[in-house]
Structure 1
Amino acid sequence: MTPHRLNRRSFLRGAGVTMALPWMESMTVWGDEPKGREPGSEAPLRLAVLFAGNGFHSREWWAKGEGKSMELGKVLEPVHDFRERMLFIRGLYNAEALKGNIHSSQTGNLLSGAPLASGGEIRSSTSVDQLLAQHYGRETKVPSLVLGCEKSNPSVHKNYSMLYSSHISWSSPTTPTPLEVYPALAFDHLFKDTGSRGDRSVLDAVMEDAKDVRREISGRDRQKLDEYLDSVREVERRIENAGKRNELQGWRPTLSAPNIPRPPDGIPQDIAEHMRLMCDILVLAFQTDTTRICTLKLNNDHSALRFPNLGVDYMIHHLLSHTDTDDWLKVNQFFTDQLAYVARKLDAIQEGERTALDNSMILFCSSMLNGNHDASQLPIVMLGGGGGSIHGGRVLDYLKDSQRQMCRLHLSIMDKMGLKLAAFGDATSKLEEV
């Protein structure tokens, strides 16, 4: 086997396109390996944060037991198959989220634990994902990917900016990380060297380089490369079809068809398709090592989304969250199903002896326990093996712990990804059990 010509970081290249390759056993992709270890024997560790606004059903968010015997509340039924690789974490909170008002002051510091400025001023703190992007993301084409399925809200609610409700990722104390809600632009951000979409398929642009790579890799890796290229083509096709159907951003228009020309990059009207596209892009980003850090905000806190796909179209998400009805549970399960979808897709990607899910940490959370704004404890689930560092199938209960800061979990996550800090936010020690 002839070593691939790139021994540091491998890409497919074409006119205006740079596409990262997936993990392959027969290539040294992840950097210089220690002596005695086979080249490319370990894939990188990834972090994904999936956020669902307004909390969950007050009686159906729970887990008990361990391993195969773990029982789950109805909200978590979609991830039942992953319970042995799941941590259900109870009792963590952000002290600063109990100050100020509801929604905005409970969301803008979810990933930092920072105090938030009021009076319409914008001030939080750099979030854990962006600290990792500054440290860990330097080895990838895109330091971090920040996705959303609902546009930012710039208004003010009870003396706090609603930008706090719209953003969990912060690049600096005064800068919420731009949220990409357009699937086509998120896709281009991963695979194109410029922001312009152009008329040529990403795959068409790099196909000649792909043929060269196929000649230099093993038969097993050729199959993996073909599967990956097929998945990229499928996402391209779905984005193109969404645009051709003249579909607009996640609200129901008053006209049966737009009365203006379609924008170049459409967003599906169907929220289910929108979320699935963003989940697919997250998985592609991890599969190609284009980025190792991604936040996906499924909706805003104080969300105005509706769910006609579920037969729940009579009330917006925020108002529905106050009801604890069967419809609210149905919406909760729809959000949890996005977590299960990402987990299944990552688990289907084999990376040596592990899968991409084994090599990832997925943090699924909200800024309040339920729709009555209870932020005294946060709903938190973690999926994935953390590169072999996380033992799943457990319930971790910190509710009676005097040191139950959410930032202790952030310190644990950063520690596993090689960023070791003495303190973060209001925490000075990590959670040793994670």
Structure 2
Amino acid sequence: MGAFLTSRRTMLRGLGVTMALPWLESLRVWGEEAGTNAVRGEAPIRFAALFSGNGFHREHWWAKGSGKTMELGKVLEPLLPHREKLLFIQGLYNEEALKGNIHSSQTGNILSGAPLEAGGGIRSGISIDQMLAQHYGQTTKVPSLVLGCEKSNPSVHKNYSMLYSSHISWSSPTTPTPLEVYPALAFDRLFRKDASKSDQSVLDAVLSDARDLRRGISRSDRQKLDEYLNSVREVEQRIDRAGQRGELQGWRPTLEKPNLPRPADGIPQDIAEHMRLMCDILVLAFQTDATRFCTLKLNNDHSSLRFPNLGVDYMIHHLLSHQESDDWLKVNQFFLEQVAYIATKLDAVQEGERTALDNTMLMYCSSMLTGSHDATKLPVVILGRGGGKLETGRVLNYLGKSNRKMCSLYLSLMDRYGLHLDQFGDATERLAEV
């Protein structure tokens, strides 16, 4: 096949570019080094944690029933098409998060359950995504992908560093994993050998390898390869257009029209497009097996985002969360639409007998149930079946049960990867029924 390699990791290669491929029935190369799926040739299991700060509308975060007849509250309605692949979990909590009762102290350990250092210091614990990445991430180009849609806040609020509000992924107790908020740089990390700017398209760089590959795969795989390459091109083009409009970090001009000549990057990226680009990059990362572990922080806890795209531009997200208004519900649904979008795209990717969503555990959570800082029962939804290892279409309620620790859930999820720990965070036992 010329320059094309089909050894342990199948890649398309070009000048300055290495691009992993999606699952193809003609190339059974996954499984040898997956660490998460023992059957040779099966697609690996992925894990993604999605987060939005400040909780949800208290009246509309609920689920009841099971399977295709499951009913969902208004906040969760965007997930209705996926309810048979959904696990709604209520009543879990992190004991350490109850100590400060503010945003920072409730977010910095959402994925670890670790005690947080106060007084402006920085100490948390290794998060579940990084624990998995440290054990299995070396088998992919990128051990883990850590994405965000709002930049970090380095200030201190009520004796706790706001870095806790800005980061859910921690590589060590003192190191929040670097957060990538630029879609272009996240894209480059997946497909380029370095993060330097290049005028050459990723696809242009690997087309020679792609042509060689097409000659040796089945007709259905050729169609799948073409669809995949088209999706990569589409994201590239959208990132280019977004870059032409300006920054991608939510900056908003103070004037409707500039009173001075504006620089080329003076018009900001709107939040809806920013989030959607990050969602697409997450899907591409999993579809290409560039990584198997990802976190996407849609906003910070104590967030200052506004939502002009929803007609809700009069109040920042944090302040809006303290009222149970129709606008608050509208913003909640906007966040759930991003989760649903990822699930829909993953479910459209066929990987043998399963879809990419079937081979994923996509967890969505917040550090409080409502804007009143209620962290005694955290909102948690999991989409996907973890390679057939997770029973979905269920509602699990742990209120009143002896064990309802978030870290017990993480122990159960890590078991699906073959990572059996005696303890994680504050938990030493698995979560019943998961």
- The TM-score, its normalising length taken from structure 1, stands at 0.95
Query: Which SS does the other structure have where 2:92 is aligned?
Result: coil
In the alignment, structure 1 residue 363 sits paired with structure 2 residue 363: yes
Q: 1:251: how far off?
A: 3.0
Whole-angstrom CA distance in 1 between matches of 2:73 and 2:17 = 45
Query: Which SS does the other structure have where 2:134 is aligned?
Result: helix
What letter corresponds to residue 354 of structure 1 in structure 2?
R
Contact 2:20 2:288 in 1 (8 A): yes
Q: 1:261 aligns with which of 235, 256, 263?
A: 263
Whole-angstrom CA distance in 2 between matches of 1:328 and 1:45 = 34
What letter corresponds to residue 165 of structure 2 in structure 1?
S
Q: 1:412: how far off?
A: 1.1
What letter corresponds to residue 160 of structure 1 in structure 2?
Y
Residue of structure 2 equivalent to 1:374: 374
Residue of structure 1 equivalent to 2:182: 182
Residue of structure 1 equivalent to 2:214: 214
Whole-angstrom CA distance in 1 between matches of 2:285 and 2:227 = 15
What letter corresponds to residue 347 of structure 1 in structure 2?
D
In the alignment, structure 1 residue 148 sits paired with structure 2 residue 152: no
What letter corresponds to residue 176 of structure 1 in structure 2?
P
In the alignment, structure 1 residue 45 sits paired with structure 2 residue 24: no
Query: Which SS does the other structure have where 1:275 is aligned?
Result: helix
Whole-angstrom CA distance in 2 between matches of 1:395 and 1:83 = 10
Unaligned 5+ segments in structure 1 are: none
Unaligned 5+ segments in structure 2 are: none
Q: Deviations over 1:294-328 (max 9, x none)?
A: 00000000000000000000000000000010000
Contact 1:136 1:417 in 2 (8 A): no
Whole-angstrom CA distance in 2 between matches of 1:282 and 1:112 = 22
Whole-angstrom CA distance in 2 between matches of 1:294 and 1:218 = 31
Q: 1:39: how far off?
A: 9.0
- C-alpha change, 1:215 and 1:40, in structure 2 (3 Å) is farther
Paired residues for 1:2-17 under 5 Å? 5-17=5-17
Contact 1:155 1:161 in 2 (8 A): yes
Contact 1:251 1:306 in 2 (8 A): no
What letter corresponds to residue 263 of structure 2 in structure 1?
P
Q: 1:432: how far off?
A: 3.7
Contact 1:249 1:267 in 2 (8 A): no
Contact 2:31 2:42 in 1 (8 A): no
Residue of structure 2 equivalent to 1:19: 19
What letter corresponds to residue 269 of structure 2 in structure 1?
Q
Q: 1:101: how far off?
A: 3.8
Whole-angstrom CA distance in 2 between matches of 1:38 and 1:301 = 38
Whole-angstrom CA distance in 2 between matches of 1:416 and 1:76 = 26
Residue of structure 1 equivalent to 2:346: 346
What letter corresponds to residue 85 of structure 1 in structure 2?
K
Contact 1:28 1:39 in 2 (8 A): no
Residue of structure 1 equivalent to 2:157: 157
Contact 1:275 1:298 in 2 (8 A): yes
What letter corresponds to residue 261 of structure 1 in structure 2?
P
Residue of structure 2 equivalent to 1:273: 273
Query: Which SS does the other structure have where 1:136 is aligned?
Result: helix
Residue of structure 1 equivalent to 2:384: 384
Whole-angstrom CA distance in 2 between matches of 1:369 and 1:267 = 35
Whole-angstrom CA distance in 1 between matches of 2:52 and 2:99 = 21
Paired residues for 1:320-339 under 5 Å? 320-339=320-339
Whole-angstrom CA distance in 1 between matches of 2:374 and 2:358 = 32
What letter corresponds to residue 420 of structure 2 in structure 1?
K
- C-alpha change, 1:158 and 1:38, in structure 2 (3 Å) is closer
Q: 1:268: how far off?
A: 5.4
Q: 1:267: how far off?
A: 9.2
In the alignment, structure 1 residue 398 sits paired with structure 2 residue 376: no
Q: 1:67: how far off?
A: 1.1
Coordinate RMSD, CA, aligned: 2.0
Residue of structure 2 equivalent to 1:64: 64
- C-alpha change, 1:268 and 1:296, in structure 2 (3 Å) is farther
Residue of structure 1 equivalent to 2:79: 79
Contact 1:106 1:368 in 2 (8 A): yes
Whole-angstrom CA distance in 1 between matches of 2:410 and 2:60 = 26
Paired residues for 1:190-339 under 5 Å? 190-255=190-255, 256-257=257-258, 261-262=263-264, 269-339=269-339
- C-alpha change, 1:40 and 1:403, in structure 2 (3 Å) is closer
Contact 2:123 2:173 in 1 (8 A): yes
Contact 1:97 1:109 in 2 (8 A): yes
Q: 1:252: how far off?
A: 1.7
Q: 1:231: how far off?
A: 0.2
Q: How many residues align?
A: 429
Q: Deviations over 1:44-93 (max 9, x none)?
A: 00001110100000110001111122111100000011111111101000
- C-alpha change, 1:215 and 1:274, in structure 2 (3 Å) is same
- The TM-score, its normalising length taken from structure 2, stands at 0.95
Whole-angstrom CA distance in 1 between matches of 2:31 and 2:394 = 34
Moved over 6 A (4+): none
Paired residues for 1:128-143 under 5 Å? 128-143=128-143
Contact 2:67 2:394 in 1 (8 A): yes
Q: Deviations over 1:132-181 (max 9, x none)?
A: 00111111000000000000000000000000000000000000001000
Contact 1:203 1:229 in 2 (8 A): yes
What letter corresponds to residue 91 of structure 1 in structure 2?
G
Residue of structure 2 equivalent to 1:409: 409
Contact 1:33 1:39 in 2 (8 A): no
Query: Which SS does the other structure have where 1:91 is aligned?
Result: strand
Whole-angstrom CA distance in 2 between matches of 1:340 and 1:230 = 22
Contact 1:146 1:169 in 2 (8 A): yes
Q: Percent same amino acid at aligned positions?
A: 73
- C-alpha change, 1:259 and 1:139, in structure 2 (3 Å) is farther
Q: 1:244: how far off?
A: 1.6
Residue of structure 2 equivalent to 1:119: 119
Contact 2:129 2:169 in 1 (8 A): yes
Contact 2:252 2:268 in 1 (8 A): no
Q: 1:248: how far off?
A: 4.9
Query: Which SS does the other structure have where 1:208 is aligned?
Result: helix
Whole-angstrom CA distance in 2 between matches of 1:40 and 1:419 = 19
What letter corresponds to residue 333 of structure 2 in structure 1?
Q
Whole-angstrom CA distance in 1 between matches of 2:39 and 2:9 = 12
